[in-house]
Structure 1
Amino acid sequence: MSAWAKLPVVVWVRRQFAPNTLQITLLLACIVGLLGALATVAFREALSGLQFLLAGHRSGMVELAQNLNWWQRLLLPTAGGLIAGLILQYATLWVPKKGADDYMEAIAIGTGVLSLRQTLVKSLSSLCSVASGASIGREGPMVQLAAMFASLVGRILAFPPERLRLLVACGATAGITSAYNAPIAGALFISEIVYGSISTATLGPLVVASVIANIVIRQFLGYEAVYQMPRFDFVSGWEVFFYVGLGMLAGVLAPLFLRLLDTAKERFGALPVPLFVRLALGGLVVGVLSLQVPQVWGNGYSVVNSILHTHWAWQALAMVLVFKVLATASSAGSGAVGGVFTPTLFVGAALGSLYGLAMNALAPATASVASSYAVVGMGAFLAATTYAPLMSILMIFEMTLSYQVVLPLMLACVTAYLTAQTLRADSVYAKSLRRNRVAGRWLSMTGEGSAMRLSSLAVDNDAIVSAADHSEIIGERFIATGYRNLVVRAPDGRLAGMLDAANWWKRQATGKPELWTEAITPCKALDGEMTLVGALRAVGTMHADWVPVTDGEGKWLGVVSLPGLIEIVTEERGRE
């Protein structure tokens, strides 16, 4: 137990409210939502202040680039990348690694621990990159900061890994909501992308954190659409086919965009130079591209608004689109800390506007104005890169506050998602969420010599229920624990199978909750004689919080979790 957990006020809170109850979870979700919003506001102000020091005014990055001389456009991104790289390379040497590398890993398979000092170092590096013109989004460090404060709160209260992960998810939700002023999409981002399903047990705390964060942001920044959407009208019913075509186009090009990002990371990573040199080279590429197209600087908010409200020649749009893609690949590929979410919206807007101009040229009596296709293109390209069509639809709706765009947006997003998924199995976040690769990374640290047996690690806890339990008990257990699955034992004590939270809530919606046992999925228990290494391999490929363990004769031993096994590995390595 940490020293924080022994403080009198913390002890009093833990005595008054059991930390495994829904009430304390929702209360902490409120606190995490507040802290997450304040963290994003602080990052915004720090970024604005740094830009003021560089330019003498608080305008956007594109305006800053346009006001600089050619040599300054080359120097600033290069110098920013160099400083950001030096921070990453040397500051992290002085900061001990503790916890997951990013919030997605901490939520999906980690123990929920995010390092305070590591996060601050990476945020400082990102601040230098973004303020100097790197073609990445500021949302990445914002969300990481919000998730880190949530992890800190949970660690102070000595939460177990499963509850800590849920709290980190609430923090990440608050960060996304604050970054885009999109409370609904913020909650769905974590549910649909990180958790992989929308569960009542997790969605409630996420929504609470999102609402609190949005209220705080309104107090500081006001409430208005991120993108001011012009009037959207259907010219003809036949136009729906044009939006289907736009979705298919986005679905084809998005995998190419992701492949370019992967290739850039591989090429930069293969360079036999230090990290700070790679980031400086990435900044230099952005500087060279900005000599011709200064609009490649920054995340592109101002350029997208310009595309929505002014007429662009198709040649200018095509050039901005190509150069922005190259700049984003250079910034992200070199290792700059930041997100590609906002640049993805930029690419979608430019692609949709070009498509709209083409449709107006081919069928002027049927097609809407190019700005209508631009905003739909944003959602379609986002859905085709994240593989989260529902989140993409709601994100664009909340960012534009235009209800008229919803119908064509739904059609294009689903079409783009289905098209992209047939061409590429992995989304833009796949590497952060791929469980077996993460487990493999931990396996490489342990070696094959570990003699610890799984039977000594199995425990009986609140992840175990009986097939004879009433449905209300199961529901309360899912809500109280936040687990993604429960392990079910038959009345005779043997293993009955696993119960997935999403499937169980779907069963409740049928109106026959007493038949919840029909949602149990048969599973094979792990052998108690497995070594720790073998257990990591087996559990790392499962999409479950808890996995049953039996001996060679099928006798019940208990359950284990991947975060718990990773925590044991970490402790073993710390003693070596």
Structure 2
Amino acid sequence: MALTFLLHLIERCAYGYGHGSFLTGVHATPWWRRVAATTGGGLLAGTGWWLLRRRRNVPSLNDLVHKPAASQRIGTVLADALLQVLIVGSGASIGREGAPRQSAAVLAATATRRLRLADIDQQALIAGAAGAGLSAVYNTPIAGAVFALEIILRTRRPRTIAITVGVSLTGTSILWLIHGTGPTYRLPPMTSGWAPVAVWSVIAIVPCLILGRAFTRLTHAARRHPTAATPRLILSLGATGIALGVAGWWAPELFGNGKAVIDAIADGNRSLALLTTLIVLKPVATAGYLRAGATGGLLTPSLATGAAMGAVVAIVLHNAGFPVDVPSFALIAAVGCLATTQKAPLFAAMFTFELAHPAVWELACFVITALGASYLNNKRALPRPSRRSQRNRPKKAHPKDGSYTES
């Protein structure tokens, strides 16, 4: 709750609006203030990260779950989370779920450090807390538990499932007292039948796979060579903020974690040229911040990229005379892209479903797209053996006649 209130406070101070959504506030802000907000946020966050990282490394989420000693750096982790909130609130194209995830994880690790728990149960509690931080931000209690199980722990142990589900539901229910139980993304009711959506859930598998793999390669390359913890980090994030602010003169939907893209699709601001440009610029903007040295989540940027692609396809079909529903097409493409980037089909389907609360039958379409994209992604990830390696394979005796065959 504290991080959510802080994020909204930074957004309103940076862009000078008092009511309405973030996208509405950005649209009402003059161009010079957009540039000043992203640039100032980059300079301030860059200064904080330089001071923080030059002394010690910030533990990752996996370190907090699997390495008990990482929880001793609670101050470092919380300071890094606050800097993430600062740069996302100023408009950076980074997901805002990274800060509550790692904050909840380090607090849970600190609280359970002296308890006499088995390692596997302690890891389940910490991972469940990270999932609860995610679910509390986006009001996705089931997806938070699936995140802990499918992405962090990668287990189906019944006891671990019970722990993570309990922690995620508890964390989200506390936030319901403040924000209510409504969906994060409010989309208009469906205007077409189920048949076009069902067909699109199958056709979208390959385009989502291609787009998701391109997003992953771009962001992985940016993360592999980030700006070092030197004064150059400050200038790098400031320059990235200037570039985003200039691009935001024409496309304010680039600002923020990606919710602005979904809001634009829901509000009917569906310029074909704008959405087509967002398919390219959103991953580039996210990779630019990662390359400059920022840290944060990638869930909603990849979700928004896929949604823009699905909306483009729906608008083209709609202009050609086919009665298709643009938000539904956007959600299905968002699921496929997210499933590819995270390699977690069940999480992608449930996360998107809980974000938008569409019709229940659409969940089946989400699962089809997510499983199809993940299957093809995993299949392509397997290396093909060369002919030379096949010739050098060890031989084994045949169990019946003692002859040798290729193993």
TM-score (norm 1): 0.61
Counterpart CA distance in 2 for 1:148 and 1:270 is 24
Question: More displaced, 328-337 or 61-70?
Answer: 61-70
Displacement of 1:222: 0.6
Q: Distance in 1 between matches of 2:179 and 2:160?
A: 28
Q: RMSD value over aligned CA atoms?
A: 2.6
1:70 to 31, 44, 65: 31
**Mapped pair 1:401 → 2:357:** yes
Residues 90-239 of structure 1 mapped to structure 2, 5 A cutoff? 90-93=51-54, 101-107=59-65, 109-111=66-68, 113-114=70-71, 115-157=73-115, 159=117, 161-232=119-190, 235=193, 237=195
Letter in 1 for 2:332: V
Is 1:257 aligned with 2:218? no
| CA shift for structure 1 position 209 | 0.4
Alignment check: 8 A CA contact 1:61 1:297 kept: no
Question: 1:372 maps to which residue?
Answer: 328
Q: Aligned in 2, Cα 1:281/1:209: closer, same or farther, shift over 3 Å?
A: same
Structure 1 runs not aligned, ≥5 long: 1-40, 427-576
Q: Report the Cα distance in structure 2 between the residues aligned to 1:425 and 1:289, rounded to whole angstroms.
A: 38
Q: What percentage of residue pairs aligned between the two structures are identical?
A: 25
Counterpart mapping for 1:474-485 below 5 A: none
Change (3 A) 1:148 1:242: same
From 377, 382, 385, the equivalent of 1:420 is 377
Give the conservation status (yes or no) of the 8 Å contact 1:242–1:359.
no
- Give the counterpart of 1:283 among 241, 246, 256: 241
Pairwise CA distance, 1:358: 2.9
Residue aligning to 1:557? none
Deviations along 1:500-531, one digit per CA (max 9) or x if unpaired, are xxxxxxxxxxxxxxxxxxxxxxxxxxxxxxxx
Contact 2:54–2:230 under 8 Å retained in 1: no
User: Counterpart of 2:35 in structure 1: which amino acid?
Assistant: L
Higher relative contact order by CA 8 Å / sep ≥ 6: 1 or 2?
A: 2
CA deviation vs aligned residue, 1:67-93 (integer Å, no higher than 9, x gap)? 333333223212211111111111344
Question: Which of 333, 356, 368 does residue 314 from structure 2 map onto?
Answer: 356
Cα contact 2:34–2:245 (8 A) shared by 1: yes
Change (3 A) 1:252 1:423: farther
Instruction: For residues 344-373 of structure 1, give each alpha carbon's deviation from its aligned partner in whole angstroms, at most 9, with x where no partner exists.
Output: 1111211111122233345x45x5222210
Q: For structure 1, which segment, 301-310 or 142-151, has the greater mean C-alpha deviation from structure 2 after superposition?
A: 301-310
Please, which of 8, 13, 16 is the counterpart of residue 53 of structure 1? Answer: 13
The one-letter code matched in structure 2 to 1:178 is A
Q: Could you report, residue by residue, the CA deviation over 1:308-360 in whole angstroms, capped at 9, with x for unpaired residues?
A: 34151312211233222222121222221211111111112111111222333
The Cα of 1:229 is off from its aligned counterpart by 3.2
What does the per-residue CA deviation read over 1:537-559, in whole Å, with 9 as the maximum and x for residues that have no partner? Answer: xxxxxxxxxxxxxxxxxxxxxxx
The superposition leaves residues 552-576 of structure 1 with CA deviations (integer Å, 9 ceiling, x where unpaired) of xxxxxxxxxxxxxxxxxxxxxxxxx
C-alpha distance in 2 between matches for 1:270 and 1:201: 41
Residue 383 in 1 paired to residue 339 in 2? yes
The question of whether the paired residues in 2 share the 8 Å contact of 1:243 and 1:408 is answered with yes
Query: CA separation of 1:425/1:346 partners in 2, compared to 1, >3 Å: closer, same or farther?
Result: farther
Q: Which amino acid aligns with 2:151?
A: I
Give the aligned partner of residue 263 of structure 2: 305
- 1:275 shift after superposition: 2.1
1:341 aligns with 2:302: no
For residues 226 and 110 of structure 2, the distance between their equivalents in structure 1, rounded to whole angstroms, comes to 34
Q: Is the 8 A contact 1:81 1:282 kept in 2?
A: yes
- Matched residue type, 2:351: M
1:230 partner SS: coil
Once residues 26 and 196 of structure 2 are traced to their aligned partners in structure 1, the CA distance between those partners, rounded to angstroms, is: 42
- For residues 360-419 of structure 1, the C-alpha deviation after alignment (integer angstroms, 9 at most, x for no partner) is 345x45x52222101111211111111111111111222222213122222211222223
What letter is aligned with 1:168?
I
Provide the TM-score with structure 2 as the length reference. Answer: 0.85
Aligned twin of 2:202: 244
Q: CA deviation at 1:156?
A: 4.3
**Within 1, Cα distance between the matches of 2:87 and 2:285?**
13
Residue 153 of structure 1: how far off its partner (Å): 0.5
Q: Residue 98 of structure 2 aligns to which amino acid in structure 1?
A: G
> In the alignment, is the contact (CA less than 8 A) between 2:23 and 2:263 conserved in 1?
no
> In 2, are the aligned partners of 1:393 and 1:410 still within 8 Å (CA)?
yes
Alpha-carbon separation, structure 1, partners of 2:19 and 2:102: 24
Q: Quick one: distance in 2 between partners of 1:373 and 1:271?
A: 42
Task: Tell me the CA shift for residue 129 of structure 1.
Answer: 0.6
In the aligned structure 2, how far is the partner of 1:120 from the partner of 1:103? 12
| 1:123–1:145 contact (8 Å) kept in structure 2 | yes
The structure 2 residue matched to 1:329, chosen from 283, 287, 290, is 287
Give the letter aligned to residue 79 of structure 1.
G
State the AA in 1 paired with 2:44.
I
How far 1:235 sits from its partner (Å)? 3.5
Tell me, yes or no, if structure 1 residue 410 matches structure 2 residue 347: no
**Separation of aligned partners in 2, 1:407 and 1:167:** 30
Q: 1: distance between equivalents of 2:70 and 2:52? A: 20
Whole-angstrom CA distance in 1 between matches of 2:200 and 2:17: 45
* 1:42 to 2:12 alignment: no
Moved more, 346-355 or 399-408: 399-408
Structure 2, unpaired ranges of 5+:
384-407
C-alpha distance 219-179 of structure 1, shift in aligned 2 (>3 A): same
- Decide whether the 8 Å contact of 1:255 with 1:424 is kept in 2: no
Q: Return the offset for 1:64.
A: 3.8
Is the 2:4–2:137 contact (alpha carbons within 8 Å) kept by the matching residues of 1? no
Query: Could you say which structure has the larger radius of gyration?
Result: 1
Tell me the distance in 1 between the aligned counterparts of 2:116 and 2:366.
Answer: 44
1:101-124 per-position Cα deviation (integer Å, ceiling 9, x unaligned):
1222332x4237322101121022
Distance (whole Å) between structure 1 residues aligned to residue 196 and residue 258 of structure 2:
32
